[in-house]
Structure 1
Amino acid sequence: MRTKEEMQDVTLLGNQGTKYEFSYNPGILEAFDNRHPGRDYFVKFNCPEFTSLCPITGQPDFATLYISYIPDRRMVESKALKLYLFSFRNHGDFHEDCMNIIMNDLIRLMEPRYIEVWGKFTPRGGISIDPYCNWGQPGTKYERMVEYRLMNHDLYPETIDNR
């Protein structure tokens, strides 16, 4: 069990007075110490209710996000991540920009060994857009992993039915 000292940076988890931000706010993100920094392992978040706005039309865009990372010393707290993603609800940006902004904010927060963010947006106008971005710590095997994962991330695309 984690001690209160270990979780001092986590203020949202268990807080009954949750405030939902309706405008993009990276300050919501919180992190805690990785108790297994000597081991490589993936943490994956499946976020099926992401919403942002088209910056031109103001129409809502809906997506499932997949955030996978190999932690180093810090890990993102899941409730804070949920509230952070909710803060995109009224944020107007293109799909590709949203995915890169999310990845950059998580890199700043955690400094992970490796991270990838993949958005699978529902179609608008008959086209779905699925931006994928990734990053690895420079000068490490994780930097080499970026190229491999980028070139191989969608070798077996799903059958699109009615997403």
Structure 2
Amino acid sequence: MAGRSEQDLQGVTLLGNQGTKYVFEYSPDILETFDNKHPDRDYFVKFNCPEFTSLCPMTGQPDFATIYISYIPDVRMVESKSLKLYLFSFRNHGDFHEDCVNVIMNDLIALMEPRYIEVWGKFTPRGGISIDPYCNWGRPGTKYERMADHRLMNHDMYPEKVDNR
């Protein structure tokens, strides 16, 4: 199977660009997509992002997390370099942990219109407590909506080992 054609990558401007500019304020406009070459098949795409940072909206102190993003694409997929730059744009963004993961999920839903998506933030402890918000979404009226309900109700029954703390 051949690689991606120029037509497949229309709208992808950051990949391979050596003049990358890092945005230090929340910027969903940086996200880019490309066509899913396998829209007839359900499959997961998972991103593990161990260097996420944002700011506590109350203290201005940095918060550190590993963000896990898993989704079942439909027609469009998120381009990974744009996702990296988008997540970097939270660096000076003040929001609670729960808000960060929901904002990320909402932005990716608006961008790609996936069949299913989940975002899980595993934040390092501050003040002796870690916060690990999880959110998900499945396309309404489909099996993915039922999948989202099931995964939400069962997502932490068997907690995995967390090694970012």
TM-score tier (shorter): over 0.9
Q: Determine which of 43, 46, 54 is the counterpart of 1:44.
A: 46
What percentage of residue pairs aligned between the two structures are identical? 83
TM-score by length of 2: 0.96
1:161: how far off? 7.4
Aligned to 1:11: 13
Aligned to 2:82: 80
Say if 2:52 and 2:65, in contact at 8 Å, map to a contact too.
Answer: yes
Aligned to 1:147: 149
Structure 2 gaps, min length 5: none
What RMSD in Å do the two structures reach over aligned CA positions?
A: 1.1
1:9-158 equivalent positions in 2, closer than 5 A: 9-158=11-160
TM-score by length of 1: 0.97
What CA deviation, in whole Å up to 9, does each residue of 1:121-160 have, x standing for no partner?
A: 0000000000000001011000001110001111112456
How far, CA to CA, are the matches of 1:127 and 1:95 in structure 2? 12
SS at match of 2:144: helix
How far, CA to CA, are the matches of 1:112 and 1:44 in structure 2? 13
**AA of the residue aligned to 2:38:** H
The number of equivalent residue pairs is: 163
Structure 1 gaps, min length 5: none
How far, CA to CA, are the matches of 1:43 and 1:161 in structure 2? 21
Query: 4+ runs of 1 displaced by more than 2 Å?
Result: 158-162
